[in-house]
Amino acid sequence: MATFIDESGGVGLVSHGGWPYFRLAAVWVPTPVAADGFRTAVKTIRETQTLGLGYEFKYSETHSVPQRRAAFYAAALAHQFRFVVCCVDKIGQWRSASNADLYDATTMYLATTLRPVYRQAEAAAGRRVPEPVVVDDNTDPKFLAAVDYAFRGL
């Protein structure tokens, strides 16, 4: 069982050119085999649509190629997973929030929302199962610390 986390937008202030939204998503898969199955399916899509091996599927970049979006969704829906997304509107009440506040709020939301999924998996396994958390290409130590704190607390 593993959880994969990725962010979209940024935490910079909108008044200083930052994105108006910060989004954080987490996808939980029940087994390493399920994660590998999805990775294989995505690799196949990249090959059949002649995309580079490192091509990252981004929803915002698929408007002109709906078949690419459809192929990705079909591959995802063929696998068991749970997901949660948190979006912070940095134009409203969060407009002056610090990076740390944004990280803490979004990571804690993801972790607490996934907690019942973890508990259900543990009950099915009959034991506590360590949950690896994989963060997509992020080197911000404050963000990584927030992820660690939120998910380790479970």
> What tens digit of pLDDT does each residue of 44-93 get?
999 998 998 888 888 788 888 899 999 999 999 998 899 999 999 999 88
- The mean per-residue pLDDT over the stretch 27-49 comes to 90
Model confidence at 5: pLDDT above 90: yes
User: Is the alpha carbon torsion for 6, 88, 144, 30 positive or negative?
Assistant: negative
Per the DSSP assignment, residues forming a β-bridge with 8 are 23
- Cα(97)–Cα(88) distance, rounded to whole angstroms? 10
Separation CA 87–CA 38 (nearest Å): 25
Beta carbons of 106 and 140 less than 8 angstroms apart: no
> For position 57, what pLDDT does the model report?
83
Counting residues of the chain whose pLDDT is more than 70, the rounded percentage is: 99
pLDDT at 27: 93
Q: Is the pLDDT of residue 8 over 90?
A: no
3-state helix vs strand vs coil in the chain, percent to 5: 50, 20, 35
For residue 146, name the pLDDT band (cuts at 50, 70, 90). very high
Q: Cα angle vertex 20, ends 95, 144, to 5°?
A: 80
Residue 104: pLDDT band by 50, 70, 90 thresholds? very high
Give the chain's domains with CATH numbers. Answer: 1-30+82-154 (3.30.420), 33-79 (no CATH)
CB atoms near residue 27 (< 10 Å): 20
The answer, yes or no, to whether residue 137 has pLDDT greater than 80, is no
Q: Is pLDDT of 153 > 80?
A: no
Q: Round to the nearest angstrom and report the end-to-end CA distance of the chain.
A: 14
Q: How many CB atoms lie within 10 A of CB 5?
A: 21
